[in-house]
Structure 1
Amino acid sequence: MMKILEKNMVKISLLIIAVVGFSVLFLTYNTYGNLEFALSFRGKKFIAFILVGVATTFATITFQTITNNHFLTPSILGFDSLYILIQTLLFFFFGIQVSSVLHHTIPLFLLNVFLMVVLSGFLYFFLLKKGNRELYLLLMVGMILGTLFSSISTFLQVILDPNEYDKLQGKLFASFSNIDISLIGIGFILSCLAIIYLWLSAPTLDVLHLGRDQATSLGVNVRNFQIKLLLVVSLLVALSTALAGPVTFLGFIVVNLTYQWMGTYKHRYLFVAGSLISVLLLVSGQFFVEQVFKWNTTMSVVIEFVGGVYFVGKILHERKRAH
């Protein structure tokens, strides 16, 4: 037991060293003698990396424990499509000028979060009534709603003014460069509340990971616990999506790498290691994209491409192992 604990601490320590190293590189490399300006400009991105990375990690690990499936992420419930629909409706009804003014305001940010959490809460209370079958029904309904939201968004985008459509497209891709610093404070507070709840619930999550029947026999009210967890997951996903936009594959990449790296199902170790890996991938990826390769693209495009390849590769690997 002591050796396992020491081994886990060593792995986490290595991750901390890597995160600190790349963070210093990202914040100070190629400042051209203007360190203060570089820190103010890159510091906003760095804070966004931490908020989005940690929120996504906690949400995805918890969601995969609830569903007992390492291929699923909270985006399957249609959060990305709902976010895109909200932005499309904003441009459709209010136009470029009004929507541009409202886009980075706290009320709109809270509206995005509120709608996502309320919709998901509505689904949870009405679909998670008896057992595990309702969980799969919830996932199917989430996928159907995601398709519905996406179809409505596409229809509205087709009849938008070309200038408004062009402006809208810039809002629909995840961006860590255009985050409004005024949203960081409230996003940090809400994220901390959700993260603290999941951290305190980690021992019960360890029990839930054994399976629904085992958790019930050990005294866990599985249905009520699942609803609470899903609401917290919805809040974290809504916060990260409303802050930076949809990043579908980030959670999938990070969490699966975390399981492989740590080799444990203790949720507190997974939460810490996963958060560090998430921040490391975002910071190092942004550093290489901006400073090393000097690509004229956003970090989200790289994440989606790598995540898609990794997802297909994992499916093929699992299929080969099953045979």
Structure 2
Amino acid sequence: MTKKTQRLIWILSALSLLAGLTFLFAFTKGPINFTLDFRLPRLIAFIVVAISMSLATVTFQTLTHNNLLTPNIIGIDSIYIMFQILSIFLFSSQSLIQTNPVLHFSLNTLGVVIFSLVLFNFFFKKFPNNIPLMLLFGLVLGILVNSFNNFLQVIMNPDEYSAVLSQTLVSFSQVDSRVLTLALLSIIPIAFYLFKNRHELDVLSLGNDYAQNLGIAVQKRQLVYFSLVAVLTSIATALVGPVSFLGFLGANIAYTILEQRRHDAVFIVTSLVVFLFITFGQVIVDHLFQAEVNLGIIIEFIGGLYYLFILLKGRSRQ
């Protein structure tokens, strides 16, 4: 890394530390131990989601060679919601699957991961080196799954429908510590693996032909990385709900402020930017808006505007 990049990372790290301390200790009422017991798991969840969405989005954009895409384009968030709805529709909101948070998290995450792996394996074997077709199929499948989800919600009774809404809406407010531990243990080896193979991702970002000429088994490695993207996205979605633009925001801001596109720097800067968005955003929501506004809605709104800005900015250069 250059000295400018290292300086930027130190600045973002300091801001992240300030954001974390502000979230933990600002506007505290009552015993500090009680406040920390409530806020510390949420802060750890912010870190898990920031790392998961950042690594997943950057890796996905590297594999697809498109900064405007996010992993949710292949329907991961829609599939997650479908599993949530089906588990309540088939077994009720009082079943063991719903009342046991670890079992609920594990089954939903596993279901999304299995779906993603089947999708990737099918396309890499049936249509090798045709990622655009896979993305288009995932996009259409996501639309179909959303229609199916809406149908199930219509025929549900009101109580079950309320349970579905509480589980599928984006929420950074409540995190189960047992689920958080499982999520943390899941992303640590994946994050280590991606960072260890950052140089290979640097080569893949140059294009498939260059990577092939440099001795990389492109199709095999793409399948591995797409699978890891699915796992990371599933974990983040299962923790806080579907947040399509969160990783997109962090990744594209990182591309803008960095002078280079090496993955070690991009991974770190994107994670720090996403963490700042979540943490400072949650402080504002909790204490300025008195928790009456959902942070996920704000992130999606800002992300949508930023997406349009980048799209129109790119068009104006043509």
Q: TM-score range by the shorter chain?
A: over 0.9
Residue in 2 aligned with 1:22?
Answer: 19
> Could you tell me which amino acid in structure 1 is paired with residue 273 of structure 2?
I
Residue in 2 aligned with 1:65?
Answer: 62
> Could you tell me which amino acid in structure 2 is paired with residue 263 of structure 1?
E
TM alignment of 1:1-323, pairs within 5 A:
5-98=2-95, 102=98, 104-129=100-125, 131-132=128-129, 134-294=130-290, 296-322=292-318
Q: Find the residue that maps to 1:248 and give its secondary structure.
A: coil
- Paired residues of 1:104 and 1:180 also in contact (CA < 8 A): no
CA distance, structure 2, for counterparts of residue 174 and residue 126 of structure 1: 31
> Could you tell me which amino acid in structure 1 is paired with residue 157 of structure 2?
D
> 1:167 Cα shift?
2.5
Bigger shift: 64-73 or 35-44? 35-44
Number of residue pairs the alignment of both structures matches: 317
CA distance, structure 1, for counterparts of residue 205 and residue 137 of structure 2: 24
Cα-to-partner distance string for 1:149-203 (whole Å, 9 max, x where unaligned): 1111100100111222122112111112222111111111110111111111100
CA distance, structure 2, for counterparts of residue 37 and residue 108 of structure 1: 27
CA distance, structure 2, for counterparts of residue 212 and residue 283 of structure 1: 37
CA distance, structure 2, for counterparts of residue 125 and residue 87 of structure 1: 24
> 1:293 Cα shift?
4.1
CA distance, structure 1, for counterparts of residue 295 and residue 182 of structure 2: 24
> 1:131 Cα shift?
4.7
Q: Find the residue that maps to 1:128 and give its secondary structure.
A: helix
CA distance, structure 1, for counterparts of residue 33 and residue 212 of structure 2: 55
- Paired residues of 1:258 and 1:274 also in contact (CA < 8 A): yes
Alignment root-mean-square deviation, CA: 1.5
> Could you tell me which amino acid in structure 2 is paired with residue 283 of structure 1?
T
- Paired residues of 1:248 and 1:304 also in contact (CA < 8 A): yes
CA distance, structure 2, for counterparts of residue 104 and residue 261 of structure 1: 43
Query: Which segments of 5 or more consecutive residues in structure 2 lack a partner in the other structure?
Result: none
Cα-to-partner distance string for 1:70-115 (whole Å, 9 max, x where unaligned): 000000111110111111112212223227x625522221111211
> Could you tell me which amino acid in structure 2 is paired with residue 202 of structure 1?
R
> Could you tell me which amino acid in structure 2 is paired with residue 244 of structure 1?
V
> Could you tell me which amino acid in structure 1 is paired with residue 111 of structure 2?
L
CA distance, structure 1, for counterparts of residue 85 and residue 77 of structure 2: 12
Bigger shift: 231-240 or 173-182? 173-182
> 1:295 Cα shift?
5.2
| TM-score (normalizing by structure 2) | 0.96
| TM-score (normalizing by structure 1) | 0.94
CA distance, structure 2, for counterparts of residue 226 and residue 42 of structure 1: 38
How many percent identity over aligned positions?
35
> Could you tell me which amino acid in structure 2 is paired with residue 150 of structure 1?
N
Cα-to-partner distance string for 1:118-156 (whole Å, 9 max, x where unaligned): 111112122124654x11111011112211211111001
Q: Find the residue that maps to 2:29 and give its secondary structure.
A: coil
